[in-house]
């Protein structure tokens, strides 16, 4: 199993990784370390990959997998929620051993932690979630933004995420400075920079320590899944937890 560990000055008890696409048993377009049950892959293969993930990381409990709906709901986790179906796009943990997880294949995973190591959060931030406030909600629920830091995991890069005028205008209507996250392609299409939009949002929320944001899922096919590149594809996972 290959993974990326955030390069950030998180407290020692904060553990976090993003998986890559290789090292598992999934076949065809899901090759090979797909962790999502909802994309058409064989359930047995996904279960095997999830077992490898837990074993390799030495997790005492399984990650809490969310039913992501491209919204702005944030759920606070506890050990009793591990086997429940939860519709949300971000999760927070304040107890050790509870593993927050989000799945992505172009959308932006954002990991948060408190500088004192008292809480962590994982956010699934596609453009819809960014627009409707999933980052703002997670930062607010985590608390003390000036005592928090963020890491931006692998997402589609600013050279490959084309959107229409209506998407750009929706962000500008939210905050005028969001126009900096868009570069025109023609009179009605733009290249959107999810990393820039997330950084601006985090700064607006009061989170000043922001790391990561150097990958592109679209143009790194050997390392990452990308829904825009391959509509039939798997999902990476970004995990964060407090070590017992």
Domains of the chain, by residue range, sit at: 3-159+207-242
Cβ pair 110, 123 in contact under 8 A: yes
Share of the chain above pLDDT 70, in %: 98
Distance in angstroms (rounded) separating the CA atoms of residues 223 and 236: 10
Distance in angstroms (rounded) separating the CA atoms of residues 54 and 44: 15
pLDDT band at 51 (very low <50, low <70, confident <90, very high): very high
pLDDT band at 83 (very low <50, low <70, confident <90, very high): low
Distance in angstroms (rounded) separating the CA atoms of residues 173 and 32: 41
This prediction's pTM: 0.97
pLDDT higher than 80, residue 81? no
Distance in angstroms (rounded) separating the CA atoms of residues 30 and 138: 30
Strands 14-19 and 236-242: antiparallel
Average pLDDT of the segment spanning 137-152: 97
pLDDT at 80: 73
pLDDT digits (tens, 9 = 90+) for 190-219: 999 999 999 999 999 999 999 999 999 999
The CATH classification of domain 3-159+207-242, taken from the options 3.40.50.150, 3.60.140.10, 3.40.50.1820, 3.30.43.10: 3.60.140.10
Dihedral sign of CA atoms 51, 78, 58, 235 in order: positive
| Average pLDDT over all residues of the chain | 96
Average pLDDT of the segment spanning 42-49: 98
């Amino acid at each position: 199993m290959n993974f990326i560990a955030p390069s950030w000055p998180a407290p020692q008890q904060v553990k976090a990784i993003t998986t890559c696409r290789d090292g598992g048993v999934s076949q065809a377009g899901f090759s090979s370390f797909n962790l999502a049950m909802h994309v058409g892959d064989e359930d047995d293969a996904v279960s095997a990959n999830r077992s490898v993930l837990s074993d390799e990381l030495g997790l005492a409990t399984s990650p809490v997998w969310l039913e992501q709906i491209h919204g702005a709901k944030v759920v606070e986790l506890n050990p009793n929620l591990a086997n429940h179906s939860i519709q949300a796009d971000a999760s927070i943990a304040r107890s050790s051993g509870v593993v927050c997880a989000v799945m992505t294949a172009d959308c932006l995973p954002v990991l948060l932690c408190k500088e004192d190591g008292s809480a962590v959060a994982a956010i699934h931030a596609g453009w819809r979630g960014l627009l409707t406030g999933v980052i703002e909600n997670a930062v607010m629920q985590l608390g003390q933004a000036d005592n928090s830091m963020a890491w931006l995991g692998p997402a589609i890069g600013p050279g490959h995420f084309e959107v229409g005028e209506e998407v750009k205008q929706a962000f500008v209507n939210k905050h005028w400075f969001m126009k900096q996250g868009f570069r025109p392609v023609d009179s009605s299409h733009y290249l959107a920079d999810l990393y820039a939009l997330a950084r601006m949002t985090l700064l607006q929320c009061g989170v000043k320590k922001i790391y990561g944001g150097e990958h592109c899922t679209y143009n790194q096919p050997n390392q990452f899944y990308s829904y825009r590149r391959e509509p039939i594809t798997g999902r990476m996972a970004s995990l964060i937890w407090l070590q017992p």
